[in-house]
Structure 1
Amino acid sequence: MDKILYPIKFAPILKDKIWGGQKLKTVLNKQSDLHNIGESWEISDVDGDTSIVSNGYYKGKSLKDLLKILGPDLIGQQNYRIFEDKFPLLIKFIDAREDLSIQLHPNDKLAAERHNSFGKTEMWYVMQADEGSNLIVDFNQKVTPEKYLKHLEDKTLTDILNFEKVNTGDTYFIEVGRVHAIGAGVMLAEIQQTSDVTYRVYDWDRVDDNGNERELHNDLAIDAIDFDMPDNFRVSYSKIENESNEMVSCPYFTTSYLEVTNTLKKINKKDTFFIYICVEGEAVISYNHHSESIKVGETILLPADATHYEITSKKAKLLEVYV
């Protein structure tokens, strides 16, 4: 097959969740008959949930197909040496009508040993938050494994958790081993390693329609929690228009805030792909004689081959992500 390179869009993979709501349909215009849409997987190479191209020459092809066809032209030479035919990031939108379970994710070593998976370092960008809504991130005091287990047993875990009131634009970096949960009323964009490994430690004693509680993973979680993690999860960043304002940079991804009010001529010298996530407004991305619009709630993948491209908008807020 010929190698045709252009801004690539994917069909969202929508997930029905016990805690999900309607904002992904009403605010982000996702089309679905599902009642409780908790997640929209925008770009995914998770086994069983591989994204399908929705535009252009490769429409109908999977992300796995693209990696086989385009290889380094898609993700860059160095990424291809490291990840080969595995895409390194998972991009999501999440809508929490109810509180998510209190959970954490294992590091690369534990995830590889136990699940043959990557770990799950991630970040959140709050797109909308109902008044008074919050996130749970880490503990509100020094906690030992013994104190944690005692509160877990007594069902008083929330007494030692840190609750963060949030507003649109608030950003959090969730490292592996950090206890966290998305609170009711929050809709956010999530950028993470390609992994679906989650250790659920408390689920608010919820039951499904059949009266069953969801599985907890406390035996696995106790070894995965980092009780000595620094208080560095709140992300501060500048918002200079028409410039990439770095938010989070870690070994797994770099994310910047980009508010576009003009035509930007972008140059990519990094030998890597770029992902653009539209969190407000609408823009047009042009590359290799192809132009593709991106609206709020949409995501575009630009191949590593895109060394020169343009982004045009009167007013759009984008998250710019690369590895």
Structure 2
Amino acid sequence: MKDKLYPLMFKPILKDKIWGGQKLKTLLNKPSDLPNVGESWEISDVEGDTSIVSNGILKGQSLKQLLRTYKDELIGTKNFKQFGEKFPLLIKFIDAREDLSIQLHPNDELAAKRHNSFGKTEMWYVMQADEGSNLIVGFNQDMTPDKYLKHLEEKTLTDILNFDQVKSGDTYFIEVGRVHAIGAGVMLAEIQQTSDITYRVYDWDRVDDQGNERELHNDLAIDAFDFNMPDNFRVSYDEELNTSNNMVSCPYFTTNYLQVNQNIKKRNTFDSFIIYVCVEGEAKIVTDTHQESLKKGQTILIPAGLKDFEITSEKATLLEVYV
């Protein structure tokens, strides 16, 4: 007999990165012996990095096991038809002590053909940014493949990139084919398709402690660029209290901004799981049988079959995500 599903939390998968820092340990309370924690994968079904349940009777089971057992009860009927036993989203926190490489991601078609993977449409919500910190998103002028390749060859790529100075709450939608990079001093939440396919085009001539440069993927990247993309990556959204304010809606996910300072009754009408990412404060998720605390830097998954629940908080900011 199957155990009844409840709001699920997962053990973070921490990643040591050449550009990573200490904020995920100090600001988001992610204990680790790794020297430079760049990423915390909160919910992942990437091959080799599958999330493990950390709460309740299903503690110790993997997300993959849950999908096999619960199927549409976990992710929703339409999602199970589309994705089968593959969880469609990857949720991360990222801390950039140094600039990340300049990169882009392939679309579904290219990713399937080359890597047997989904593409990687993603969004960023800035949780904290040191003074003067930047994100790189898109170009600062009209671009063609020839012009781009000339700047790449001459090592003047940064002359044509768009730098945006950012602060907490700034939100960006990064479509496949758009050049981008997280700048030094930025900590953010990232919501993306389940994919770990990145085409790195420039890495600031950086070397590791063995003196090796990281691999670049310029041959693959040139076909993945969309040079005609509009300048529509900055996301504006309302901040009405105790209601779900839409931030991003795309074929791969919907994300809402939810600021809570009271009890809210929620009903899941989406035929999808709902993920809550706590980016500020603390809240409780309450069902008939369970109560879970959700603190800043934590993430919880509400299974699709769990229709009614409450969110209660004196002060919390949540990202509400579903497919």
Shift of 1:270: 1.3
Q: Distance in 2 between matches of 1:52 and 1:60?
A: 6
Structure 2: unaligned runs, 5 residues or longer: none
Structure 1 residue 312 and structure 2 residue 312: aligned?
yes
Check conservation: 1:275, 1:299, Cα contact below 8 A. Answer: yes
Which digits, 9 at most, give the CA deviation of each residue in 1:248-299, with x for residues without a partner? 0000000000000000000111111000000000000012310100000000
Structure 1 residue 85 and structure 2 residue 80: aligned?
no
Q: Distance in 2 between matches of 1:231 and 1:288?
A: 46
Structure 2 residue aligned with 1:107: 107
Q: Distance in 2 between matches of 1:215 and 1:208?
A: 11
Aligned length, in residue pairs: 323
Which digits, 9 at most, give the CA deviation of each residue in 1:160-215, with x for residues without a partner? 00000000000000000000000000000000000000000000000000000000
> Once superposed, which parts of structure 1, at least 4 consecutive aligned residues long, lie more than 4 Å away?
none
Structure 1 residue aligned with 2:14: 14
* SS of match in other structure, 2:126: strand
* SS of match in other structure, 2:38: strand
Structure 1 residue aligned with 2:4: 4
Structure 2 residue aligned with 1:61: 61
Percent same amino acid among aligned pairs? Answer: 76
For 1:44-193, list aligned pairs within 5 A. 44-193=44-193
Q: Distance in 1 between matches of 2:158 and 2:282?
A: 39
Structure 1 residue 37 and structure 2 residue 32: aligned?
no
For 1:226-305, list aligned pairs within 5 A. 226-305=226-305
* SS of match in other structure, 2:150: helix
Check conservation: 1:3, 1:70, Cα contact below 8 A. Answer: no
Q: If the length of structure 2 is used for normalisation, what is the TM-score?
A: 0.99
Q: Distance in 2 between matches of 1:288 and 1:198?
A: 42
Shift of 1:149: 0.3
Q: Distance in 2 between matches of 1:110 and 1:16?
A: 28
Q: Distance in 1 between matches of 2:201 and 2:287?
A: 45
Q: Distance in 2 between matches of 1:2 and 1:52?
A: 18
Check conservation: 1:4, 1:57, Cα contact below 8 A. Answer: no
Structure 1 residue aligned with 2:213: 213
Structure 1 residue aligned with 2:198: 198
Q: Distance in 2 between matches of 1:297 and 1:267?
A: 24
Check conservation: 1:6, 1:288, Cα contact below 8 A. Answer: no
Q: Distance in 2 between matches of 1:218 and 1:134?
A: 24
Q: Distance in 1 between matches of 2:256 and 2:134?
A: 23
Check conservation: 1:5, 1:288, Cα contact below 8 A. Answer: no
Q: If the length of structure 1 is used for normalisation, what is the TM-score?
A: 0.99
Shift of 1:307: 1.1
Which digits, 9 at most, give the CA deviation of each residue in 1:220-261, with x for residues without a partner? 000000000001000000000000000000000000000000
Which digits, 9 at most, give the CA deviation of each residue in 1:128-155, with x for residues without a partner? 0000000000000001100000000000
Structure 1: unaligned runs, 5 residues or longer: none
Q: Distance in 1 between matches of 2:57 and 2:77?
A: 23
Q: Distance in 2 between matches of 1:108 and 1:168?
A: 31
Q: Distance in 1 between matches of 2:181 and 2:167?
A: 16
* SS of match in other structure, 1:24: helix
Q: Distance in 2 between matches of 1:287 and 1:78?
A: 24
Shift of 1:3: 3.2
Q: Distance in 2 between matches of 1:19 and 1:190?
A: 17
